[in-house]
């Protein structure tokens, strides 16, 4: 595993929460949405039983629950047979090994050392927001361009400015924005053209549905996937409400 810096010990005062039974309803969501191809995760074992994959050009975008995503680039002249990125893997006990792991910040449900170790191979590079990649920095890993962008709370005390980041990933001609744990912040207006935004809607620690919908209208991504909801009791979120509030500003994909 390649690190530009050392792991800090993660403080976790209590057990990592299990997936609540109340999430079972999402497993019954239809797998085909008009104009959107959604399919089960291609792994023999799914990383969680509700994982769904959205195809964005030559990229497979799989939501693993909470703020966790896998981005898999299929066969490419630039990246070879496959190139696999994980963002904030949490409670992941198996899966394809990563070429790159991105961690937005050091909270236990984002910097999950067990998941990182499970998904790593000897050549995996791990970039941790606020540690070995800081706000405003850009790095390139095997042709994929990674930019760390601001992610913080305006009034809430949970995510002070500079502690963590969001990521803009440029790969296969697409720009994907993972917002990290953030409120609707003014810097979002400076993101530029985004093909796919991954935005938190759970509230309490991040934006809720209303704030996230307002954020969408600040930078008008082509497509949006809501995240960071349903895992914890204090982050319920309602993706259908979010989709209604966004309206025609962007295409909302619920996984």
34/21 Cα distance (integer angstroms): 28
**pTM for the full predicted model:** 0.80
Would you list the domain boundaries of the chain?
Answer: 29-252
* Predicted pLDDT at 14: 37
* Predicted pLDDT at 232: 84
Q: Which residues contact 14 (CB under 8 A, 6 or more apart)?
A: none
Place of tokens 């696999």: 84
Identify the CATH assignment for 29-252 out of 3.30.390.50, 3.60.15.10, 3.30.110.30, 3.40.50.300: 3.60.15.10
Place of tokens 């067990």: 114
* Predicted pLDDT at 38: 32
Q: At what angle do helices 209-219 and 239-246 cross, to 10 degrees?
A: 40
Burial of residue 93, with CB atoms counted within 10 A of its CB: 0-12 exposed, 13-18 middle, 19 or more buried = exposed
* Predicted pLDDT at 149: 98
Q: Which residues in the chain land under pLDDT 50?
A: 1-47
* Predicted pLDDT at 146: 98
* Predicted pLDDT at 17: 37
* Predicted pLDDT at 36: 32
Q: Which residues contact 248 (CB under 8 A, 6 or more apart)?
A: none
């Amino acid at each position: 595993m390649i690190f530009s810096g050392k792991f800090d010990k993660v403080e976790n005062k209590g057990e990592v929460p299990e997936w609540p039974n109340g999430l079972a309803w999402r497993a019954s969501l239809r797998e085909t949405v008009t104009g959107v191809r959604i399919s089960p995760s291609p792994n023999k074992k799914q990383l969680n039983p509700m994982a769904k994959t959205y195809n964005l050009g030559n990229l497979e975008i799989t939501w693993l629950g909470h703020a966790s995503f896998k981005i898999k680039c299929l066969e490419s002249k630039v990246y070879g047979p496959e190139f696999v990125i994980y963002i904030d893997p949490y409670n992941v006990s198996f899966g394809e090994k990563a070429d790159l792991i991105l961690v937005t910040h050091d909270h236990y449900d984002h910097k999950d050392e067990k998941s990182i170790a499970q998904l790593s191979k000897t050549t995996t590079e791990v970039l941790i927001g606020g540690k070995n990649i800081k706000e405003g920095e850009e790095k390139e890993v095997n042709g994929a361009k990674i930019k760390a962008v601001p992610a913080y709370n305006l009034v809430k005390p949970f995510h002070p400015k500079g502690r963590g980041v969001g990521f803009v990933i440029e790969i296969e001609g697409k720009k994907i924005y993972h917002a990290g744990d953030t409120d609707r912040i003014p810097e979002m207006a400076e993101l530029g053209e985004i093909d796919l935004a991954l935005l938190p809607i759970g509230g309490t620690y991040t934006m809720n549905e209303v704030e996230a919908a307002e954020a969408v209208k600040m930078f008008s991504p082509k497509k949006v996937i809501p995240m960071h909801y349903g895992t914890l009791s204090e982050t319920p979120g309602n993706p259908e409400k979010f989709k209604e509030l966004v309206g025609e500003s962007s295409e909302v994909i619920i996984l």
